[in-house]
Amino acid sequence: MISGSSANIGVGESIAQKAKAYLELVKMRLSLLVSFSSAFGYALAMGGNVDWMQLTMLFIGGFLISGASCTINQVIEKDYDAMMKRTQNRPLPTNRLSKNEALWFAAIVAAAGILVLYLSTNLLTVGLAVLSMILYSFVYTPLKRVGPIAVFVGAFPGALPPLLGWVAATGMISHEAMIIFGIQFIWQFPHFWAIAWVADEDYKKAGFKLLPVKGEKDMKTAFQIMTYTLFLIPLGLLPTYFGITGINSGIVATICGVLFLTQTIKLMRDQSRKSALRIMFGSFLYLPIVQIAYLLDMVK
C-alpha cells in the first residue's frame, strides 16, 4: 500500500522532471545570450539612459522568442538529434516530452514573447522578432541538411538581437543599428564553422552539411574561417569611427579581433580539432567582451 505522502513525493518528482525537460527545450545559455545581445543594442541606442522596465520586458521577450525558436528546432530535428551523441539526451529523443507537448510549449512561449514585446516596444521590433523566429526555425533548420547555405541564412536571425534592441529603443533601423548587426552577422561564420568542425562526425551522422567549400576539414575551410575573422577587425572599429562609442572600446575590439585571428591562423597550420575547439571557445568570449566594452565606452 502506497502512503499519501509517498504518492505526493512521486507526483512532485514527476512535475519537477517535466519542468526540467521544458527548461532544456529553451536552451538557457543560448537564449540568455540572445537576450543579452538585445539588451546591449537597446542600452547602446539609449546612451545608457535606459528605461529599466522596458529593458527588462525586452530581455524577457527576447528570451521567450529565442526559447520558442529553439523548441521548434528540436521538434523538427527530433529524429536527427537521436543520431548524434551531443544531442541524443535532449527531451524529445529521450521521450521525456512528446512532440505535441513541445509544440504546445513553443506556441505558448512564442505567443507570450510576442505579447511582451508588443506591449513594451513597437511593431517594428515585434516584426523583427517574428522574422528571426521564422528564419531560424523554418528556414535555417531544414537547410542544415542541404548545405553550407544554412550558415549564411542562420547568420541573419543570429545577428538580429542587437538590431532588435536598437529598434526597440529608437523605433527605426539606422546605420548605427546596421553596424552592430553587421559585427554580429560576420561573427556568426567563424563561430558556426568552428562548431561544425568540432562536431563534424556527429553532424555527418544526421546528414548536416555546415562546413564551407566541399564540407571538408581542410586548408580551404580553415582559410574561410580566417577570412571572416579578419573582417571583424575593421568592423569592430566602426562604432568608434561613427561616434557611437569612444576610442577605448575600439582598442579592446581590435585586440580581441587580433587574438581571435591568431586562433584561426593556428587552425590553418595544423587543421586540428583542438585548434577548432579554441576558435569555438574564442568566439564565445569575443562577442560579450566586445559588446560590454562598447557599453562601458559609449558616447552619451
Taking only the tens place, the pLDDT of each residue in 155-198 is: 999 999 999 999 999 999 999 999 999 999 999 999 999 999 99
Q: Collapsing DSSP states into helix, strand and coil, what is residue 228?
A: helix
Query: Which pLDDT score is estimated for 20?
Result: 94
pTM equals 0.92
Residue 3 has pLDDT above 70, yes or no: no
Q: What is the pLDDT of residues 132-165, one digit of tens each?
A: 999 999 999 999 999 999 999 999 999 999 999 9
Residue among 215, 187, 182 nearest 201 (CA): 215
Q: How confident is the model at residue 4 (pLDDT cuts 50, 70, 90)?
A: low
Grade residue 9 by pLDDT with cuts at 50, 70 and 90: low
**Where do we find the cell 575590439?**
253
Nearest to 190 by CA among 276, 294, 292, 266: 276
Residue 254 vs residue 298, higher pLDDT? 254
- Residue percentage of the chain with pLDDT more than 70: 95
Q: What would the mean pLDDT of 41-45 be, rounded to a whole number?
A: 96
Q: What span, in angstroms and rounded, lies between the C-alpha atoms of 122 and 203?
A: 39
* Confidence label for 78 from pLDDT (cuts 50, 70 and 90): very high
Q: How many CB atoms lie within 10 A of CB 143?
A: 19
Q: What is the CATH number of domain 23-173?
A: 1.10.357.140
Closest Cα to residue 24, out of 70, 82, 80, 76? 70
pLDDT of 259 higher than 80: yes
Q: What is the mean pLDDT of residues 35-45?
A: 96
What's the mean pLDDT in 33-42? 96
Q: How far apart are CA 111 and CA 103, in angstroms?
A: 12
Q: Return the pLDDT at 114.
A: 98
Mean pLDDT in residue range 21-43: 95
**What's the CA gap between 43 and 298, in Å, rounded?**
9
Residue 187 in grid coordinates: 561573427
**Domain positions in the chain:** 23-173, 175-300
Residue 211 is predicted with a pLDDT of 93
Task: Output the pLDDT for position 15.
Answer: 84
